[in-house]
Every structure is written in structure tokens, then in C-alpha cells.
């Protein structure tokens, strides 16, 4: 089993998106801890107007597989992506190979659909602030227990209608996101991110952070 961790800094800095999974099922207790972590997240007015639907029956996995295939058609066009040559060992080829494996095996995995009740006065973007933290908590809890997880676009594009109908999601609920979860092949992290200084400013849009960050990417921050 991949190493679990209770160090929040290690968890955040090694929570890579995992797209390659073993065939071992996720036990109920481990999955329940991820769902509990999701429910600990903040939401607007503490309304907790969310619902997390675990998709694991053969019937629902088949729907997920169809949604994944539809999403892949869009992804290939958007990223000009195609299946890599077997002899290509470049980083991009390895990444693409993992993406194709995830979509090809989509019907094998347990996944979770995250939904948020719509409000008449709030945009979907604003409501995202009440459901996206729950999704992040789920991802971090999965990593903390040694699981792998991948936030997918399968509940978007042509897959939204399929999943909404199969699950019975009411029209006044937003399909906020979809996460595949399982035991990873390989290992976690560290994540690859651009330098923090390029994303931080002080007081003004173009004011560099100067001494604010210090050595924020050192061991001390991990």
C-alpha cells in the first residue's frame, strides 16, 4: 500500500493527480473517511447544501465509462492529444498514456459525483465556493490515506446529461465535479508547480512580493 501521511504539509505537496490505479477496491471505511473530510469543508452560510453520490454499481460504472469516452473526444481536440507511440518515453507521452489508461478503464473504478443545490440569487461560479472546498478536502483525505484520486471532466461536456439522468440529479442542483478514487500504481508527489513568486503580488497587481515569501519552497514550508 502506498505510504499514508498525517503531515498536512507533506499531503498537500505530494497530492499529485493520479490517473493509473490498481484493481484493488477501496474499502468502505477508507472511502467514508474521505467523504467525512469533504463534509468538514466550509460552505456559504454553513448551508451545507451539497450531496456526494458514490458511483460503484456495475450499472453506474457503465454510465461513467460512457461519459468518460465522450469527455475524451473533447479533451483530444482541446489539447491536440493523441495516443503516444509505444516507443515514445518523453514526459508528455507518459502523461498522455496515463490519461488514456484512465479513460479506457473508467468503468472499473469507484467515483464520487459532487453536487450543489442552486440558489436563485447566486451564479454557479459563486456557488462553487460552497462545494469546491469539499472536493479539495476529499482529495487531500484520499492522499493522506495513501489513495490516489483524479478530478475529472466526465460530469461535464456530453457526460452531464448521462450522469444527471442515471443518478437522478434534480434540475435545481448543479453538477459541480466528479472524482475517481482508487489505489495508485506508482507513488505520490512531489507536485510540479510554477514558482510561487510568479503568482503573488503585494498591494498592487504588478507589485512583486519582495521579501514576503522568503524561502517559502524550502523544507520548512513542507
Q: What is the pLDDT of residues 10-37, one digit of tens each?
A: 999 999 999 999 999 999 999 999 999 9
**Inside any domain, residue 70:** yes
Q: What's the pTM?
A: 0.93
Which range of residues forms the domain containing residue 179? 8-191
CATH classification at residue 103 = 3.40.109.10
Residue 157 lies in a domain: yes
What are the residue ranges of helices labelled H in the chain? 8-14, 28-39, 58-78, 91-104, 124-128, 132-144, 159-167
Residue 197 lies in a domain: no
pLDDT at 1 over 90: no
From 6-15, 46-55, 117-126, 132-141, the region with the lowest mean pLDDT: 117-126
Q: How many domains does the chain have?
A: 1
Q: What pLDDT score does 2 carry?
A: 58
C-alpha cell at 68: 468518460
For 38-66, letters b (16+ CB in 10 Å) and e give beebebeeeeebbbbbbbeeeebbebbbb
Would residue 116 count as lying in a domain?
Answer: yes
Nearest-angstrom CA–CA distance, 33 and 29: 6
The answer to whether residue 131 scores a pLDDT higher than 60 is: yes
Quickly state the pLDDT bin for 157 (edges 50, 70, 90): confident
Instruction: Determine, yes or no, domain membership for 221.
Output: no
Q: CA-to-CA distance for 53 and 202, rounded, in angstroms?
A: 41
Is position 208 within any domain? no
pLDDT at 124 over 90: no
Q: Are 202 and 208 in contact (CB under 8 A)?
A: yes
Residue 21 lies inside a defined structural domain of this protein? yes
Residue with cell 473517511: 33
Amino acid at each position: 500500500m502506498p505510504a499514508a501521511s498525517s503531515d498536512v504539509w507533506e499531503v498537500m505537496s505530494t497530492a499529485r493527480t493520479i490517473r493509473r490505479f490498481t484493481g484493488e477496491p477501496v474499502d468502505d471505511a477508507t472511502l467514508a473517511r474521505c467523504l467525512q473530510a469533504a463534509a468538514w469543508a466550509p460552505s456559504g452560510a454553513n448551508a451545507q447544501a451539497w450531496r456526494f453520490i458514490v458511483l460503484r454499481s456495475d450499472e453506474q460504472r457503465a454510465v461513467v465509462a460512457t461519459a468518460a469516452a465522450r469527455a475524451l473526444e473533447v479533451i483530444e481536440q482541446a489539447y491536440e492529444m493523441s495516443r503516444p507511440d509505444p516507443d515514445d518515453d518523453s514526459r508528455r507521452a507518459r502523461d498522455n498514456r496515463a490519461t488514456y489508461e484512465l479513460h479506457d478503464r473508467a468503468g472499473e473504478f469507484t467515483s464520487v459525483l459532487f453536487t450543489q443545490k442552486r440558489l436563485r440569487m447566486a451564479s454557479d461560479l459563486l456557488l462553487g465556493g460552497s462545494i469546491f472546498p469539499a472536493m479539495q478536502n476529499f482529495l487531500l483525505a484520499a492522499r493522506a490515506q495513501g489513495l490516489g484520486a483524479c478530478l475529472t471532466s466526465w460530469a461535464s461536456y456530453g457526460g452531464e446529461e448521462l450522469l444527471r439522468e442515471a443518478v437522478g440529479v434534480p434540475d435545481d442542483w448543479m453538477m459541480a465535479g466528479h472524482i475517481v478514487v482508487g489505489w495508485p500504481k506508482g507513488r505520490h508527489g512531489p507536485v510540479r508547480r510554477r514558482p510561487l513568486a510568479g503568482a503573488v503580488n503585494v498591494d498592487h497587481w504588478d507589485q512583486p512580493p519582495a521579501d514576503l515569501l522568503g524561502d517559502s519552497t524550502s523544507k520548512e514550508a513542507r
